[in-house]
């Protein structure tokens, strides 16, 4: 072999090849580091950047960089002050809009916060080749604006528009149908439409949904919030579903969700799982809809009202939608009978790679067994609000799918606590990458004693989990026969706690207000060497709770994860008193201290924090105890507060030596229209950012 010259330099690589290498690097901070190597690399990095999110204050927009001329995706939704009208800060808004076009001439994908229609009237003409647009608005729609006016400018000037996302854009449901019908050429060119309203409790009525789909026959992806309750005018039923399939036969993604499903209200664990009303959807109609959508690859039907004995219709999915890869069903019952563990119903969809089952009242362990045998390609599996399944059934499923399953979510299930959920994951502990469990700390004995509600377990018998594990490892043939042994109580020393979760990098937790995170590591989740991100959702009414008896929810217990660097701490589901609480109860400032105490010992680089709320005054504010604790996070680089904050409190955060990026985002509906004197206003935000970016602050890196 010829000897490689030791004098070959990285700069000897042809510029074309080097440009391709740079274009393959996606991480923003890595690209910024690469640009510091030399001038050539700086120019090359800037010329190959395709995606850019602008930060900074809107008063400095005249300083827009002009070196990112190849950027095709531009995000303008996170400029500061967050939610402020984008161009109103300039004495000449049109000139500023033209400056955007000069700085980013190649933009075809745009994300922008639209406080009022004038922003789009100025920006849309600057990029006539826009193909993908996402609009964001959490503030209330101006009632004086004509119907459809929010979309007029966009449709007038974006003749090549193919994708529109208004899932985070608050508007009336009457706005979009009128605008789409007024611009038939734009409607015909749309292939992706996301009208899944997260900013409103209203869903699209049947006639509005049909008007949209009739005008957009070439849609390939449709996500929409609907009304499935037949007691309301404009509900979605058989006729609407059939017409929708006829209007858009090329759909590859269909996502229909009832508006009440987005409220994330935790179901009552003691009810049977059935709603008082049935959806007006028949099995015959479902079969006809599936036949009319042969290209379907992803289907979500979360109707929130009973669809009973659904297995005959779901059996048709495999033959009539052969490309189906992802399926989510909400409030569908009888989706799989699981008789003698033979696949039927949903278990016949052999090509499924992702399956989510929500509020299926009669889903049993036998059904899980049939699904694990009939859907061998599943890599993602979620069960929410299913009352009859037990740890036995989940353990059988994870063992059967141990070669493919990497993403699991178990939530709101009556027979699962944190310990039983983790033990059910034992067969895939060394493979699972993403996991969600509920931090319910009942004893394991009590959890398993409830499994008598499952049809797969006979009264008086117990299941030996350890013996089952050993038997199935030694004799693979027993997997098909599914031995009839049953649970028995697991030893107190936690059988599987010494095993390592070697690939788990994302962990999601739900916890009730007043509960603790401390037992998490003791439950078997103590060894996660590459866990980088954790999401914690805390919910409950603190007004019904006594003062916390402990000093912390237990964030310091997360210090056992050495690579944990990102956290999403969502306390927006906690309701309490923002002002003075009645005697014997704690206001939200004390609860925030309880939630955040101990966070200072974690080596976090990025934190998203949603403060608790007082619904009576629509206030989600950061209190002094929370700011004092956050200011002690010495390694924090990015901090995003999804609420409001006092300017004086925010100045405490300047004590964090590594802090580079901070923003207060009121991204909840309805976002406050007028900031009070105690919260971050335009000038308050300017003063804080000036102090944050001051040359007197020395950033270690």
10-residue stretch averages of pLDDT, the chain, 701 residues long:
58 82 85 86 89 89 89 94 86 93 96 93 96 95 91 95 96 94 96 88 92 97 95 94 97 95 74 88 94 96 93 92 96 88 88 96 94 96 95 96 97 93 95 96 48 35 41 40 38 49 96 91 90 96 84 91 96 88 84 94 96 85 92 94 90 93 89 65 85 81 63
Q: What is the DSSP string of 235-269?
A: ---HHHHHHHHHH-TT-SEEEEEEGGGGG-PPPPT
Determine the 3-state secondary structure of 198 from DSSP. Answer: coil
The predicted pLDDT at position 680 comes to 64
User: How many CB atoms are closer than 10 A to CB 323?
Assistant: 12
The predicted pLDDT at position 563 comes to 96
- Cα separation, 509 vs 288, whole angstroms: 39
Number of separate helices (H) and strands (E) present in the chain: 23, 22
Q: Chain-centre distance of CA 11, in angstroms? A: 42
Contact criterion met (CB below 8 Å) for 338 and 370: yes
Helix (H) or strand (E) holding 291: helix 283-292
b/e per residue 17-44 (b: at least 16 CB within 10 A): ebeeebeeeeeeeebeebbeeeeebeeb
The predicted pLDDT at position 672 comes to 81
- Cα separation, 435 vs 422, whole angstroms: 9
Calculate helix-pair angle for 465-474, 391-400, nearest 10 degrees: 20
Global confidence as pTM: 0.88
The predicted pLDDT at position 198 comes to 79
Which residue in 30, 85, 86, 31 sits closest to 54, CA to CA?
A: 86
- Cα separation, 469 vs 82, whole angstroms: 53
The predicted pLDDT at position 4 comes to 52
Look at the chain and count its residues. Answer: 701
Q: For residue 81, say if its preceding peptide bond is cis, omega within 30 degrees of 0.
A: yes
The predicted pLDDT at position 451 comes to 34
The predicted pLDDT at position 679 comes to 64
User: How many CB atoms are closer than 10 A to CB 48?
Assistant: 19
Contact criterion met (CB below 8 Å) for 306 and 230: no
Structure tokens at 447: 């959890």
């Amino acid at each position: 072999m010829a000897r490689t010259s030791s004098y070959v330099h990285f700069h000897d690589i042809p510029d074309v090849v080097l440009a391709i290498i740079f274009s393959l690097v996606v991480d923003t901070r890595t690209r910024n580091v690469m640009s510091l190597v030399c001038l050539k690399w700086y120019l090359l990095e800037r010329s190959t950047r395709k995606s850019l999110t602008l930060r900074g204050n809107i008063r400095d927009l005249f300083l827009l960089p002009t070196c990112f001329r190849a950027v095709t995706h531009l995000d303008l939704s996170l400029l500061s002050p967050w939610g402020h009208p984008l161009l109103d800060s300039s004495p000449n808004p049109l000139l500023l809009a033209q400056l955007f076009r000069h700085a980013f001439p190649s933009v075809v994908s745009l994300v922008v916060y639209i406080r009022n229609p004038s922003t789009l009237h100025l920006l849309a003409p600057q990029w006539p080749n826009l193909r993908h647009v996402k609009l964001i608005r959490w503030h209330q729609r101006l009632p004086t604006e004509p119907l459809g006016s929010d979309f007029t400018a966009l449709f007038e000037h974006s003749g090549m528009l193919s994708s529109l996302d208004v899932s985070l854009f608050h508007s009336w449901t009457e706005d979009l149908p009128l605008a789409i019908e007024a611009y038939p050429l734009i409607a015909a060119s749309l292939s992706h439409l996301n009208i899944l309203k997260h900013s409103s409790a209203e869903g699209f009525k049947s006639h509005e949904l049909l008007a949209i789909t009739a005008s957009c026959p070439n849609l390939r992806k449709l996500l929409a919030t609907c009304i499935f309750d037949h007691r309301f005018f404009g509900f979605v039923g058989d006729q609407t579903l059939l017409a929708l399939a006829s209007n858009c036969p090329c759909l590859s993604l269909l996502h229909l969700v009832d508006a009440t499903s987005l409220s994330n209200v935790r179901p009552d664990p003691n009810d049977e799982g059935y709603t008082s009303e049935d959806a007006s959807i028949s099995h015959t109609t479902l079969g006809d809809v599936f036949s009319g959508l042969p290209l379907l690859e992803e289907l979500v039907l979360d109707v929130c009202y009973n669809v009973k004995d659904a297995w005959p219709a779901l059996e048709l999915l495999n033959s009539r939608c052969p490309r189906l890869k992802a399926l989510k069903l909400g409030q569908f019952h009888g989706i799989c009978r699981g008789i003698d563990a033979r696949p039927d119903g949903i278990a016949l969809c052999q090509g499924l790679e992702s399956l989510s089952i929500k509020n299926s009242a009669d889903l049993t362990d036998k059904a899980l067994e049939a699904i694990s045998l009939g859907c061998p390609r599943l890599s993602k599996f979620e069960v929410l609000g299913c009352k009859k399944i037990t740890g036995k059934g989940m353990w059988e499923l994870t063992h059967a799918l141990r070669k493919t399953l990497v993403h699991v979510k178990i939530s709101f299930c009556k027979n699962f606590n944190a310990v039983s959920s983790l033990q059910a994951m034992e067969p895939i502990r060394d493979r699972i990458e993403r996991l969600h469990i509920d931090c319910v700390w009942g004893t394991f004995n009590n959890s398993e004693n409830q499994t008598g509600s499952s049809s797969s377990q006979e009264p008086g018998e117990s299941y030996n989990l350890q013996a089952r594990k050993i038997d199935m490892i030694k004799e693979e043939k027993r997997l098909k026969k599914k031995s009839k042994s049953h649970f028995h109580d697991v030893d107190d020393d936690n059988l599987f706690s010494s095993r390592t979760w070697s690939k788990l990098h994302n962990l999601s937790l739900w916890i009730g207000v007043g509960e603790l995170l401390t037992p998490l590591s003791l439950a078997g989740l103590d060894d996660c060497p590459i866990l980088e991100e954790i999401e914690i959702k805390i919910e409950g009414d603190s007004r019904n709770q006594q003062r916390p008896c402990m000093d912390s929810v237990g964030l310091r217990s997360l210090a056992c994860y050495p690579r944990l660097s990102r956290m999403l701490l969502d306390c927006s589901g906690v309701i309490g008193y923002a002002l003075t609480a009645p005697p014997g109860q704690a206001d939200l400032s004390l609860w925030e201290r309880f939630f955040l105490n101990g966070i200072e010992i974690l080596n976090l680089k990025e934190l998203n924090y949603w403060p608790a709320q007082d619904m009576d005054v629509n206030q989600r504010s950061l209190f002094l105890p929370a700011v004092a604790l956050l200011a002690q996070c010495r390694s924090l680089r990015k901090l995003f507060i999804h609420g409001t904050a006092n300017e004086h409190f925010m100045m405490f955060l300047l004590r964090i030596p590594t802090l580079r990026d901070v923003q207060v985002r009121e991204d909840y509906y309805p976002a406050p229209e007028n900031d009070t004197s105690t919260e971050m206003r335009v000038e308050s935000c300017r003063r804080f950012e000036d102090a944050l970016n001051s040359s007197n602050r020395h950033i270690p890196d």
